[in-house]
Amino acid sequence: MKITLLENGPVLIEADQATLKKGNKEEKIKGNMVALCRCGHSANKPFCDGSHQKEGFEAEVAEVEIN
């Protein structure tokens, strides 16, 4: 699994597979990458919807790799 915090943007998580569990619902996520909001303004939390751009969110880039 690889986690990348984009400069002034979301957290990208790359994994073989992902499942979103929210309340008593469970949904398989298509593809192998998920973009999670870290600015707090997304209307589609926990996912990024691009709100960070219009809100002027600023944050440094970082990367974590989990083996």
What 8-state DSSP symbol labels residue 47? B
pLDDT in tens, 2-16: 999 999 999 999 998
Q: What is the pLDDT averaged over residues 25-33? A: 90
Q: Which residue type, as a one-letter code, is found at position 57?
A: F
Number of structural domains (the chain) is 1
Which pLDDT band holds residue 22 (cuts at 50, 70, 90)? confident
pLDDT for position 10: 98
Query: Does the structure show a pLDDT above 90 at 47?
Result: yes
The answer to whether 15 and 29 are in contact (CB under 8 A) is: no
Q: How far apart are CA 50 and CA 26, in angstroms?
A: 24
Q: What is the CATH number of the domain that holds 59?
A: 3.40.5.90
Using alpha carbons only, what angle is made at residue 39 by residues 32 and 12, rounded to the nearest 5 degrees? 15
pTM score:
0.85
Q: Which residues constitute the domain of residue 42?
A: 2-20+28-65
